[in-house]
Chain A
Amino acid sequence: MKRTVVLGTGNELFKDEGVGVHVARILQTKLPTSSSDVEVIDGGTSPDIWSLIDGADKLIIIDAVRGGCEPGTIYRFTPQQIVADRGLITSVHQMGILENLSLMELVGGKPKETVIIGVEPKELEPGLELSPELQKRMPKIIQTVLEEISSCIETKV
């Protein structure tokens, strides 16, 4: 059986920065708990998510992403499509998604396929709730992720 891991990341203390975490929570209530082929993880800002997604066939990451479009815009891309120059790392608090994927390649267990569903944020100040713009978009975001899980969507979102 193929195993899919859905990973919501981000910091929910900064409103839209936590969109991935909000999505993970909603999905945890929507997906049957008996299903062992889809696992939903609320990864927060942990540097150790690589150890939680060990051996997945497909990894779907949900995160706030700044692409410069309207707040609430949903992006879909793969790690290979990202330009990321992360520069000097001074803190373990900077171990990002890409580092995590590279680490998995070294240590084993890297997912065969990784897709990132990014959501353009509006508000990034302290607060537990998403901005009204993102709240309004939530059904569409959830639908996008569910479609990705069932792997029958076009790459266009």
Chain B
Amino acid sequence: MRKIVIDPVTRIEGHLKVEAIVDDGKVKEAKSSGTMFRGIELILRGRDPRDAAVITQRICGVCPTSHSTASNLCLDSAFGLGGSIPDNGRIIRNLILGAAHVSDHILHFYHLAALDYVDVTKVATYEGNNATLNSVKDFIQRGELGPFVPRYEGDYRLPAAVDQELVVHYVDALRMRRKAQEMCAIFAGKMPHNMTIVPGGVTEIPTIDKIASFLWRLNELRTFIDNVYIADVIAAAGAYSDYFEIGAGCRHLLSYGNYDLDGKEADLTKRNRLFKQGTVSPDFKLGHLDVNAITEEVKHSWYEDSTTGRKPLNGDTVPKDDKAGAYSWIKAPRYNGQVYEVGPLARLVTTYLSGDPKVKALVDPALAKFKAKPDVLFSVLGRHLARALCCKIIADEMPGWLLQLKPGEPVYQPYQIPEEATGMGLVDGARGALGHWIEIKNKKIANYQCVVPGTWNMSPRDDKGQPGPLEQALTGTKIKDADNPFEIVRIIRSFDPCIACAVHVITPKGRTLSEFQVE
């Protein structure tokens, strides 16, 4: 049998390439490019509208639940169901999305971001009886550094004992994610792709058994989030507090909110949600969400210039791969022509500024711990802290929702597919504002557009030449060692990119200093 060198096509959801020009120890310019044309919109044309919810889940292996939610909200609106989702259906949708987001936030911190701050190799010197640490030590000694090695030699600052404790939590976090996946499966059916969210509600009926089964797992997760996850984020932040000053970005935030708290409002921009909808300006002023302010610009993307500046509903996806000045397959979504960051930070700050007392009671003490003003939230650590607090807020809310379920009452609203209609679905996925738009003609999809969180955050320059949020967050960053630019990697990871990413560091003259090709 010959040895096969795999070119892993498994995770082929598109790649992100970040190119940073480093001059005099600083990032002078950064370019973020999506390297693959996805064309999901073209696949959907001419299909039954209901296929959208099934097919768009496949855009992403991590975020199928967010896409399923956005797509079904979009179909609700096109089918005229937006204001008539039964409470059971609305709550079960919230529980499915909530369990998925709890799992996702834990996944991101422990199984990805923590490796930027925790030196797993310190376990090699462990001399004790902890079974987990000995098993990790065994991995390291066999040379199988597996999935959790520091991919990147950074400046690791935590004492060995704290590093080791965090490695134990890394493994505990896996068990917690399993619980969260099981919670999803209780109401979403066979994971990873949920089949139970449908236009008008859900198909899964609530039973006492399911409620108890969900609650039992949720209680364990809440204990973990309170005592381990948030404590670990704060411990890491204490040792790396300079990362409160790194990676600020565009300082404009946009949230679609998520988790509908009642089912009566059809208008997706006026919903009463747990996480609020709106925009945040650099001076922390809250703005109302105006969906008409959203456009997608393509001057620096490989699409026909004639399609630039359109609203998503009228958007078009016409590839043009030989366009001068273009460097990305990602379009540049803008809000009132301005650059906006989306994600947990946007959700948290929008909700905080809208005066939610429970959120204030979480954010204020966290900031007080670091003697910091809210302004520091625009940073690498601010994003991690926001993600952890969002995880806690949703986990704390779910027990109450479970108790509002009413076994025996309806879970969905019946519907008919209209001959012609338009629809919009807005929801914050784990990584931020996710919008689906549909146009139906002759009961078939005439146009479908998705504007995903990664498009906002990783967007290239727009028609005015303004760099995207990640590009702005990287620009100006001091790089201690251009051969080892851990600052860049930490900034990228804080955004929790939707797609795999390769980093290229070059000098102003174009000489490559270092290159980290992923996959």
Contact = CB atoms under 8 A, between A and B. Distances in A.
Interface string A102-146: 110111000000000010010011111000000000000000000
A148 B148 CA distance: 31
B9 A66 contact: yes
Contacts of A82: 4, 6
B294 to A, nearest CB: 24
A90 B518 contact: yes
Nearest to B517: A87
B489 interface: yes
Contacts of A97: 10
Nearest to B112: A92
B136 A10 contact: no
Contact of A77 (B4, B151, B492, B519): B4
Contact of A88 (B178, B190, B489): B489
Contact of B43 (A10, A52, A92, A128): A128
Question: Interface size class for chain B?
Answer: 35 or more
A47 B107 CA distance: 9
Nearest to B185: A52
Interface stretch (B86-94, B204-212, B233-241, B499-507): B499-507
Contacts of A42: 193
Contact of B9 (A65, A106, A126): A65
Nearest to B136: A106
A48 interface: yes
Nearest to A14: B12
B146 interface: yes
Given A51-B178, A90-B492, A106-B139, A9 B10 contact: yes
B11 A94 contact: yes
B493 A90 contact: yes
Contact of A13 (B7, B58, B111, B516): B58
Interface stretch (B156-164, B169-177, B404-412): B169-177
B111 A48 contact: no
Contacts of A71: none
Question: Interface size class for chain A?
Answer: 35 or more
Interface in A50-92: 50-52, 54, 63-67, 75, 77, 81-84, 86-92
A90 B4 contact: no
B481 to A, nearest CB: 15
B41 to A, nearest CB: 9
A13 B11 contact: no
Interface in A25-60: 41-52, 54
Contact of A103 (B43, B108, B174): B174
Contacts of B174: 50, 103, 106-107
A36 to B, nearest CB: 15
Interface in B141-160: 144, 146-148, 151-152
B9 A17 contact: yes
Contacts of B38: 13, 126
B55 interface: yes
A87 B151 contact: yes
Contact of B518 (A63, A87, A102): A87
B442 interface: no
Nearest to B174: A107
A4 interface: no
Contacts of B178: 51, 54, 107
A61 to B, nearest CB: 9
Given A63-B10, A65-B6, A103-B174, A77 B192 contact: no
Contacts of A41: 190
A92 B496 contact: yes
B399 interface: no
Nearest to B167: A106
B365 to A, nearest CB: 29
A81 B61 contact: no
Given A13-B43, A81-B3, A102-B147, A87 B516 contact: yes
Report which residue of B11, B39, B516, B519 has the largest number of chain A beta carbons within 10 angstroms of its beta carbon: B11
B10 A64 contact: yes
A91 B517 CA distance: 13
Nearest to A102: B146
A155 B1 contact: yes
B230 interface: no
Report which residue of A41, A81, A94, A97 has the largest number of chain B beta carbons within 10 angstroms of its beta carbon: A94
A95 interface: yes
Interface string B81-101: 000000000000000000000
Nearest to A128: B43
B103 interface: yes
Given A52-B191, A84-B8, A87-B518, A92 B58 contact: no
Contact of A12 (B1, B58, B493): B58
Report which residue of B6, B7, B57, B178 has the largest number of chain A beta carbons within 10 angstroms of its beta carbon: B6
Contacts of A155: 1
25 contacts: A12-B58, A13-B43, A14-B12, A18-B58, A44-B64, A48-B177, A48-B192, A50-B174, A52-B191, A65-B6, A67-B6, A82-B4, A82-B6, A87-B516, A89-B151, A90-B497, A95-B11, A99-B147, A103-B174, A106-B132, A106-B136, A121-B9, A125-B39, A127-B43, A128-B43
Given A83-B4, A92-B107, 5 more contacts: A13-B58, A43-B192, A66-B7, A95-B11, A96-B11
Interface of A: 9-14, 17-18, 41-52, 54, 63-67, 75, 77, 81-84, 86-99, 102-103, 105-107, 118, 121, 124-128, 155
